[in-house]
Structure 1
Amino acid sequence: MATSRILRYVESRKNLTGSVFGLVGLGLTVAGLAGSLWPVVVGGLYAAGALIAPPERPDTPEFARPSEQLEELRQDFAKLRDYLTEVSLPAPAAGRLTDLNELITSLLDPGWVADALITDPEAVHSLSRAIRQDIPESVDAYVRTRWWSRLQPSAEPPEHHLERQLTVLHDEAHALAAGIHEAEARRQESHTHYLEERRQAP
């Protein structure tokens, strides 16, 4: 720890600037201008250089590019689908989950839809939350509650909650897809207006 701090200081702007000023002091000493006070002159110039040096600027953190984020999301979705194949679900919930998986697959498949998705950070976040949190949590909660309901039957069967949750998630994913389609439609319309205005220009 101490060694790394020393190395960081040696390479710092303060030390480098102070060293340059200190060399100037040594030059004055060699020229006979510092006299017997040369250690004070050299030390003072070093300190002055270290004080006026600009502060260290930490490196900007590097984050995954949007395309990399989408690829990681595809990998996590593949893991989720593997997990879901091991879970036994009632037919209505299984059907709703199949529809949801197909919709997410169509959004993540490489192509123009995924390219449009990349440009919308909120959409990527929403899809990421569904894959990494909402869907697995809904299914896991159903599995755990179903086990308890066998011992202590509840008023509302756990599969009803699962169906309602998957319906909400499907609606959210459908709205996300509709938003991408709407953005592309606006883009097409804008290009039409541009071409028509260009034709009418003198």
Structure 2
Amino acid sequence: MATSSGAGGLLRFAESRKNLTGCVCGLVGVGVTLTGAAGSLWPLVVGGLYAAGALIAPPERPDTPRFPTAGEQLDALRTDFGTLRAYLAEAELPAASRERVTALEALVEALLEPGWVSDPDHLHTLARAVRQDLPEAVDTFVRTRWWTRFSPGSEPPEEHLDRQLSALHEEATAIAASLRDAEAVRQETHTRYVEERGL
């Protein structure tokens, strides 16, 4: 394994800018030697020119990391949303909470349609809702409700679930409103353009 690593490092150095520039300068030294100008010091001339070339060569730059595009992130989020919907369908929820979850699912599904959400903040909010907030809210409710049977009279877990679902619905509604406003501005701009074009 160490030999393989050493061979890889040697290959990387052989292909590096420093080595290639040094080799070019070393070849210049060989040319100087062939003319007889270097005399008996030719090894020093060739080695010195190689070292000088290696020193002046620009440093190696690591490859720029590639991160998922907004479209790729949206595709992955849609896949995760499908997983979440399957989980929510199996969760035992009160009728009122089920209605809230269904409404939230419909809104998130519409927002995740291709071509709508591209803003990184909106994408982050939706990803957090799908991958963290909504599953956590339902899971916590299911667990808390199970323990509530042993301590009657405590605060009903349904209240917390409904408050969480309302807050998540408000966040998704704010994104929808932002998209609606952006489209309205776009429509108004196009109307002005078409009307003024004929003047």
What aligned pairs does 1:95-174 form with structure 2 within 5 A after superposition? 95-109=99-113, 114-118=114-118, 120-153=119-152, 155-174=154-173
Deviations 1:121-141 (A, max 9, x none): 221111111111111111111
**4+ residue segments displaced more than 6 Å:** none
CA shift at 1:74, angstroms? 0.9
Work out the CA distance in 1 between the residues paired with 2:153 and 2:79: 37
**Offset of residue 154 of structure 1:** 6.2
Question: After superposition, what is the alpha-carbon deviation per residue over 1:117-165, rounded to whole angstroms, capped at 9, x for unaligned?
Answer: 13x2221111111111111111111122222222234631111111100
User: Is 2:47 the counterpart of 1:48?
Assistant: no
Identical residues among aligned pairs (%): 59
Once the two structures are TM-superposed, the CA of residue 191 in structure 1 deviates from its matched residue by 1.3
Pair 139,18 (structure 1): closer, same or farther in 2 beyond 3 Å: same
User: Structure 2: which amino acid aligns with 1:58?
Assistant: P
Alpha-carbon offset, residue 172 of structure 1: 0.8
Computed over aligned residues only, the root mean square deviation of the Cα atoms, in angstroms, reads: 1.5
Residue 37 of structure 1 aligns to which amino acid in structure 2?
Answer: L
Alpha carbons 2:25, 2:50 under 8 Å: kept: yes
Q: Deviations over 1:10-41 (max 9, x none)?
A: 11111111111111111111221211111111
Distance 2:173 2:159 in 1: 21
For structure 2, the residue ranges without an aligned partner over 5 or more in a row are none
Unaligned runs of at least 5 residues, structure 1 = none
- After superposition, the Cα gap between the structure-2 partners of 1:67 and 1:138, relative to the gap in structure 1 and judged at 3 Å, is same
Matching residue of 2:14: 10
Deviation at 1:7, TM superposition (A): 1.9
Count of residue correspondences: 195
Counterpart residue type for residue 161 of structure 1: H
Distance 1:46 1:151 in 2: 81
Q: Write the distance in 1 (CA, Å) between the matches of 2:35 and 2:149.
A: 95
TM-score normalised to structure 2 length: 0.92
Pair 164,38 (structure 1): closer, same or farther in 2 beyond 3 Å: same
What whole-Å deviation, never above 9, does each CA across 1:74-100 have from its counterpart, x for those lacking one?
Answer: 111000111112211111111100000
